[in-house]
């Protein structure tokens, strides 16, 4: 389900969260844009670091957990998921 959520999101800025309505467990959590944290271990050039930090799409913002959405935005997306 995770791969399906990431594919559905594609290159659009946003997030997808899929939850089990029975127990509220998270089935998928996708956010775009994203970055590979392993790149920091391997080493990035200063230009690459600056590009990430200055990207207006904010790749460090984990949208499903940290973004703020207006009230009701979750209820508008629910009917699309159901049918």
Q: Which residues are known to be catalytic? A: 73
The owner of tokens 């904010």 is 58
41 near 62, Cβ under 8 Å? no
**Phi–psi pair at 15, nearest 5 degrees:** -150, 160
First to last CA, the chain: 17
Closest CA to 30 of 45, 43, 19, 44: 19
């Amino acid at each position: 389900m995770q791969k399906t959520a990431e594919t559905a999101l594609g290159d659009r800025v946003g997030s997808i969260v899929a939850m089990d309505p029975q127990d509220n467990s998270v089935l998928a959590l996708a956010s775009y844009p994203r970055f590979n944290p392993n790149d920091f271990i391997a080493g990035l050039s200063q230009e690459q670091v600056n590009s990430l930090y200055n990207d207006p799409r904010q790749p460090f913002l984990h949208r499903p957990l940290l973004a703020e959405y207006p009230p009701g935005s979750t209820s508008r997306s629910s009917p699309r998921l159901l049918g």
